[in-house]
Amino acid sequence: MKYLHTMVRVSNLDKALEFYCNQLGMVEVRRKDVEKGRFTLVFLAAPEDKERAEKEQAPMLELTYNWDPESYSGGRNFGHLAFQVEDIYKLCEKLQNAGVTINRPPRDGHMAFVRSPDGISIELLQRGDALPEQEPWKSMENTGQW
């Protein structure tokens, strides 16, 4: 068995790409517009997985955008996507500066949760050992669900 991808339906492709690529740091690997089915598929990979994703078509995140408007809910029922990051404080600061709510701040220097524009829970885990606790994260409260 081989893990291929996780598919997430998005209601606004531009907002989703802004979040996953420009804010979170993923890269687009390939895109497919299916006119007959009226949808677009965009496959993303973490930068360190890009070469493998291009070669093996895995591991990737598939964003599915249906051209006809639909309303999606239940993002929390999905669970979450998890990414290992180089500096959890720097990424959380970047996300917060872009208007993303840090639902579970990285108080411990190791783990944080945010949500995508479509409500998908995203877990961020510090690579290696936890960073030393620091403000403002150390005393920041949880916001919403994560």
Give the model's pLDDT for residue 115: 94
Give the model's pLDDT for residue 76: 54
Other Cβ atoms closer than 10 A to 120: 23
| 70 labeled part of a ligand binding site | no
Domain of residue 45, residue span: 5-66
Task: Note whether residue 98 is domain-resident.
Answer: yes
18 is known as an active-site residue: no
Co-location of 20 and 60 in the same domain? yes
- Asked which of 48, 66, 84 is the last residue of a domain, the reply is 66
CATH of the domain at 93: 3.10.180.10
Catalytic residue among 54, 123, 135, 141: 123
Who's near 40: CB < 8 A, 6+ residues apart?
13, 31, 32, 33, 34, 64, 65, 67
| 80 labeled part of a ligand binding site | yes
Co-location of 79 and 41 in the same domain? no
| Tens digits of pLDDT across the chain (146 residues) | 678 899 998 989 999 999 999 999 999 999 999 999 999 999 999 999 999 999 999 999 999 999 998 777 766 556 689 899 999 999 999 999 999 999 999 999 999 999 999 888 899 999 999 999 999 999 999 998 87
Give the model's pLDDT for residue 75: 65
Co-location of 18 and 36 in the same domain? yes
Co-location of 88 and 43 in the same domain? no
| 86 labeled part of a ligand binding site | no
pTM, entire model: 0.80
CB 42 within 8 A of CB 65: yes
Task: Note whether residue 145 is domain-resident.
Answer: no
Q: What are residue 128's phi and psi, to 5 degrees?
A: 70, -145
Task: Note whether residue 109 is domain-resident.
Answer: yes
Task: Note whether residue 144 is domain-resident.
Answer: no
